[in-house]
Homo-oligomer: A and B are copies of this chain.
Amino acid sequence: MTPYSAWFAAQDDPDERYPLTEVVYYSRSGGLLEVRHDLDALRQRSADEWRRLFEGRWMRTTWPFGSGVWGKKEWVCPTVDDENIVSMFEGGTNLFWAERFGREIGVENLWIKMCGNSHTGSFKDLGMTVLVSVVRQMISEGKPIRAIACASTGDTSAALAAYGAAAGIPTIVFLPKGKVSVAQLVQPIAHGATVLSLDTDFDGCMRLVRDVTADPNSGIYLANSLNSLRVEGQKTVGIEIVQQFDWQVPDWIVIPGGNLGNTFALGKGLLLMYELGLITRLPRIVCAQAEHANPLYRAFCNDWRYEPITARPTAASAIQIGDPISINRAITMLQRFNGIVEQASEQELADAAARADRTGAYACPHTGVALAATIKLIDRGIIHPADQVVVVSTAHGLKFSRFKVDYHEHTLRDVVGQYANPPIELPAELDAVRRALDERMNARPLN
């Protein structure tokens, strides 16, 4: 028997508790629930013992601890049985030293945490492995769960469908009809999710999925962002970054923010390390928002006074959110980390992604937002040249081919593709090829 435990607690009343395997989404007062851990039990192991335990498990073959998430099982979700864990070896992604890009923008010590090099191509895998594993635990305990549902047009539905497919648990995705292409939906469709195409907008889909899952007899479990189980997996990203620096803390971690669960999760993981003595200082966190969807940025500029907005279209579609679910807990967390919020225009995010690509990264537009924010903070002298900076890349660039094609073909909305790199058309003649290459090489000599 594990001595560790965790439970849902109401944010406004820590004594209001529920088991993690209970089908419950809100506290009695209607607020979010949050996963709390028995810190006294965790403190029984010393910081050194935790580090050794985590190092010994890192990317190894003992189920389920080779996963970056489940290698920290005691900190994430100690109450799920190993045989119920649904894992695709999430986490452990490359901490890419963006050496050339860092030199270009003025910090040599720049790193990109490539969370998109994963099974479904985004960081959502980190949280979804926890949620789907807990659901499998519920089913094994006899709870009448028939399916897991979410309303999402992107990475969340892809991750939910993949983990559900691996576990043999049916999944349901609610989507606005005509607003999402099959190309955007191909992951949940391929993974056999029931995809409902509804004659409404995205908010209408969200209302419907909440209504369907609110019925305790529905047997359908809700996997949206308000479900705090996912935060427990996502919080490992910060722990991993520190571990990958041999347990040293970087000066800055920059993360793109929309619904802000990820920003909260990043801080939550780092704080747990701090409380258990694995680190003795905290990094500063930068949350980067698209200018077209910047309610947190506006709050930051207004002494943290928050007002929801109507988000405008942005290439960083996953963070096109005007009224973030995790706004309050993200603000509290950022204040704890001496945090900063910065924003990026469509031009800035697209150019930052293009520049990063030319130096070996392959940045999704959200990563572009974070990179653009980093550039601005360097230029303003807030991030210093000698600082160590980590940018969290939330998805694989392969999920955003259209964005990249449009940039390089000069058809991206609101953007001039100033780093576009069009093909050179030539006759199939050796001399013509040699001449063209000589010209190009002389214009852009070897780095």
Contacts and interface: CB of A to CB of B under 8 A. Distances in A.
B186 A405 contact: yes
A401 interface: yes
Interface string A91-106: 0101110011000000
Interface in A100-139: 100, 114, 117-121, 139
A421 B190 contact: yes
Per assembly, the copies of the chain total 2
A408 B401 CA distance: 20
Contacts of A430: 208, 211-212
Nearest to A395: B398
A97 to B, nearest CB: 9
A405 B183 contact: yes
A113 to B, nearest CB: 11
B360 A194 contact: no
A163 interface: yes
A440 B194 contact: yes
B165 A423 contact: no
Contacts of A193: 421
A360 B162 contact: yes
A387 to B, nearest CB: 20
Given A191-B360, A405-B186, A423-B185, A168 B428 contact: no
Interface stretch (A197-205, A253-261, A317-325): A197-205
Interface string A142-176: 00001100000000000000110111111010010
A221 interface: no
Contact of A428 (B189, B208, B421): B208
Given A100-B168, A186-B404, A191-B358, 10 more contacts: A89-B95, A117-B118, A163-B360, A170-B441, A182-B405, A189-B421, A190-B358, A200-B428, A208-B433, A219-B441
